[in-house]
Amino acid sequence: MRSIYLVGFMGSGKSSVAEALYEKTKKPILDTDQLIVEKYNLTIPEIFAQKGEPVFREYETNILKSTPIEDAIIATGGGIIEKDENRTWLKENGRVIFLQTSWEEISLRLVDDQSRPIWNNQARDKQKLLEDRTPFYLEVADTIVSTNGKKVEDIVKEILADENNL
Ligand code: S3P
């Protein structure tokens, strides 16, 4: 079975959904951000501050292509769909689930977040970023799951109800 790749904006719940899917399926879970931190020995904010976003994006592509394409669940970073190369790779190799969350809900969930360099960059219009990225999430998605107002367990039930997902 193809690995599941969870995509969606920051705060859409990819990591929590991956953990809950693990509880149900016992398939190994991976997280591209965590793999980047382990491989390059720097935190995500350190990579953005010391090397810049383009270098982070190169690391992210390297890591994406190193993930197992069979029998795993992989939570990805919210910007992974920005590069054509990554979208092509995801469409060719993954079973992609887009966790779609409204701007209202994302901004409530991340109100106190200090850990995400793009979220904390005052110069960036994050609502516009969500609008700009949405067509890319839709382009790669095999399944779209709206997460608005839903508990993680309900999202997981919805994912597992589709036999193509596991
Ligand atoms: C990013 C999202 C983050 C992380 C990095 C960049 C983005 O992951 O990859 O800070 O560009 O949206 P999460 O989506 O898990 O927050």
To the question of whether residue 109 is assigned a binding role by annotation, the answer is no
For 41-70, the pLDDT digits (tens) are 999 999 999 999 999 999 999 999 999 999
Which residues span the domain enclosing 71?
Answer: 4-161
| 25 within domain boundaries | yes
Q: Is 92 contained in some domain? A: yes
- Does residue 91 form part of some domain? yes
Which pLDDT tens digit goes with each residue over 71-116? 999 999 999 999 999 999 999 999 999 999 999 999 999 999 999 9
CATH classification of the domain holding 75:
3.40.50.300
DSSP letter string, 63-122 = HHHHS-SBS-EEE--TTGGGSHHHHHHHHHH-EEEEEE--HHHHHHHTTT--S-TTTT-T
- Which residue matches tokens 């039930």? 157
| Ligand 1 centroid from CA 28, angstroms | 21
Check the annotation: does 77 bind a ligand.
no
Pocket test for ligand 1, best of 6, 116, 121 (most atoms within 8 A of CB): 116
Find out whether 27 is annotated in a ligand binding site: no
Question: What's the pTM value of the predicted model, to 2 decimals?
Answer: 0.97
Our count of domains for the chain comes to 1
| Within-domain flag for 123 | yes
Question: Would 23 be classed as within a structural domain?
Answer: yes
